[in-house]
Amino acid sequence: MRRVVFNQKGGVGKSTITVNLAAIAAAQGQRVLVVDLDRQGNASRYLLGDEPAAEGTGTAAFFDDSLKFSIRELKPLSFITETDFEGLHLMPGSAALDELHSKLESRAKVYKLRKALESLSKDYDQVWIDTPPALNFYTRSALIAADTCLIPFDCDAFSRVALYELMQNIEELRDDHHDELRVEGVVVNQFQARASLPQRTVQELIDEGLPVLQPYLGSSVKVKESHERSLPLIHLDPNHPLTQAYVQLYEGLPG
């Protein structure tokens, strides 16, 4: 199973959701790979902390190698680094992705990631792809490579407008490149249960037939602590209510 976590709007929790769901999968015995396509590398820092990724690994190195003409086949495993968490590996992101973007776009390399991840199907049970907040070469590559898409949503008017635009863009990409891609669901993040606006906004999405997933993820300072310590919630505080909400969300994914 390959999942991409994507929203064109920034600040909706893509990296946090990607890493925590991937960490839960690994903690439950799955062999899991996180692919970080964001030049900010937040998912990578979340899993590695201040430790540098192994030399020559990462998504930038992978795409850079894909630009080089060679009769040898790309070996995706060589771009992957281990984390401190059993069963959880990472293809790190970095600022070097910026430098490659225009070259990759012009050379039509948008199917390279899909081919690479398909070749890793025997090595990993699940792949989780973190994306930048833009519909660019990297996010299109991720959507083409994935089986399903999870869309983080943070309950405000701007997010709602961005969600409709995103659904349209995904539908166009399905038509042009990948007709088997499914939107697995909308992940409600930063939900304030006692406030009327988030409740009304989410209910309107449900009434419109959008696949809103349960449970909704609330806000907690525990997330910031998790980031600071580079410990996914399942390892930092497995009994915390937000951790348990993530577990319920993961276990309820349609698949």
Greater model confidence, 119 or 194: 119
Kindly indicate the confidence band of residue 51, based on its pLDDT and cuts at 50, 70 and 90.
confident
pTM for the model: 0.94
Structure tokens at 149: 């898409």
Quote the CA–CA distance of 58 and 51 in Å, as a whole number.
14
Distance CA(47)–CA(208), nearest Å, equals 37
pLDDT of residue 106: 75
What is the residue type of 155?
Answer: C
Question: With 80 as the cut, is the pLDDT of residue 252 above it?
Answer: yes
* pLDDT band of 71, cuts 50, 70, 90: very low
Query: CA-to-CA distance for 159 and 210, rounded, in angstroms?
Result: 14
193-to-25, 147, 156, 241, 249 alpha-carbon distances in Å:
27, 31, 14, 14, 17
Confidence label for 73 from pLDDT (cuts 50, 70 and 90) = low
Chain segment 151-198, per-residue pLDDT in tens: 999 887 777 778 888 899 999 998 888 889 999 999 999 898 778 888
Q: For 223-251, what is each residue's pLDDT tens digit?
A: 999 999 999 999 999 999 999 999 999 99
Q: Please, what CATH class does the domain formed by 2-251 belong to?
A: alpha beta
